[in-house]
Amino acid sequence: MDSVGIVSYGAYIPRYRIKVDEIAETWGEDGDSIRKSLWVFEKSVPDIDEDTVTIAVEAARSAIGRREIDPLRIGAIYTGSESHPYVVKPTSTIVAEAIGATPLLTAADFEFACKGGTAAIQACMGLVGSGMIDLGLAIGSDVAQGAPGDALEYTAAAGGVALVIGRSELAAEIEATYSLTTDMPDFWRRDGMPYPEHGGRFTGEPAYFRHIIGAAQGLMEKTSTTPGDYDYVVLHQPNGKFPMRAARMLGFTERQLGPGFVVPHLGNTYSGSAMMGLAAVLDLAEPGERILMASFGSGAGSDAFLVRVLDEIRELREKAPSVSELLKDPTYVSYATYARHKGKMKM
């Protein structure tokens, strides 16, 4: 297989934020202790007219615009999300039309809780690597759902990332990928239900930690690398505490984790979470540097990637908004506005 990697990337984060304290106050909880236990201070909130599709389109347009890619070269679009606005009718076809990639391509939507986006990356790698397509577009996008008053509400955020996967003109090569999957009922949403259910503490050790650590260690074994061989580590960020602990358990330092650690002021963007961390690292990584990214999706599984940054990354700088720019100057909203934006008030 030829080398395969990232030709371009784009991110999108809605401009609104709600502070954890504001949510806590609404439910009579102690904001201070929640902030400390989650290590999340605020989360992004979609506008009333934003959803997984619009976020996916904005991220995809950013990725294409960053490198002025001819959208007709894109042979596959896969969008991973746990909040596709249609249960039946793909997000990816709307994205395809909105970026002008139709009609000669294949498209489908992926769902694997928070790792639908990294599954899309792997699918694109396969198609690109085998020569079936020229470029593939892998998107992770979510307007994550949390029932009012549920613990998820403190972190469930909105955002998305799109990666253009190709064989040439690579800004970063994906040197290896490694996945680990088991049947793990830690978190789910039944058909027709508005909000997910989760297993509380069960989502921790047997779910998140066992899978993400297994995949990251598997990748390092497969590639004969150790944490010291990496400049950055990006782990799925359902909150601040989990990836910090997992990174420590794997042997990574805070310096390696820091640049891709976006959760404290963004929240958990689900399918966009690990990919947002990757985008934040690509915004500043230098050629030759190495990134370990591992996603986690409840249900459960983890996809780990070894990404090596190439010279072409310099061509991509400042051609599209960086993650830190997208996080800058947010508009803070009240719980009432947040509830309106998220359609939590049924009229």
Report the interface residues with another protein, using CB under 8 A: 47-51, 53-54, 57-58, 61, 85-86, 94, 97-98, 100, 340
Task: Answer yes or no: 114 catalytic.
Answer: yes
C-alpha–C-alpha distance, residues 142 and 262, integer Å: 15
Helix (H) or strand (E) holding 95: helix 91-98
CB nearer to another protein: pick between 86 and 202: 86
Task: Answer yes or no: 124 catalytic.
Answer: no
| Burial call 14-25: b when 16+ CB within 10 Å, e when fewer | bebbbbbbbbbe
CB nearer to another protein: pick between 13 and 246: 13
Q: Tokens 């009229």: give the residue.
A: 347
C-alpha–C-alpha distance, residues 31 and 38, integer Å: 10
Active-site pick, 42, 50, 58, 82: 82
C-alpha–C-alpha distance, residues 228 and 244, integer Å: 17
Parallel/antiparallel/unpaired status of strands 16-19 and 5-12:
unpaired
CB of 32 to another protein, least distance (A): 30
Instruction: Return the ∠ at Cα 269 (arms to 211 and 346), rounded to 5°.
Output: 120
Active-site pick, 50, 84, 111, 114: 114
Tokens of 60: 């995809």
Tokens of 240: 């601040």
CB of 119 to another protein, least distance (A): 24
Q: Strand, coil or helix: what is 105?
A: coil
Helix (H) or strand (E) holding 235: strand 232-235
The terminus-to-terminus CA distance of the chain in angstroms comes to 54
CB nearer to another protein: pick between 53 and 263: 53
CB nearer to another protein: pick between 100 and 288: 100
Identity (one letter) of the amino acid at 20? Answer: V
How many CA atoms, within 13 angstroms, populate the side-chain half-sphere of residue 129?
A: 17
Q: Tokens 């259910």: give the residue.
A: 197
CB of 61 to another protein, least distance (A): 7
CB of 317 to another protein, least distance (A): 21
CB of 345 to another protein, least distance (A): 10
CB nearer to another protein: pick between 314 and 319: 319
Tokens of 280: 């934040």
CB of 98 to another protein, least distance (A): 4
Task: Answer yes or no: 236 catalytic.
Answer: yes
CB nearer to another protein: pick between 54 and 239: 54
**Exposed (0-12), middle (13-18) or buried (19+): which is 200, by Cβ within 10 Å?**
exposed
Identity (one letter) of the amino acid at 50? Answer: E
Query: Which residues are known to be catalytic?
Result: 82, 114, 236
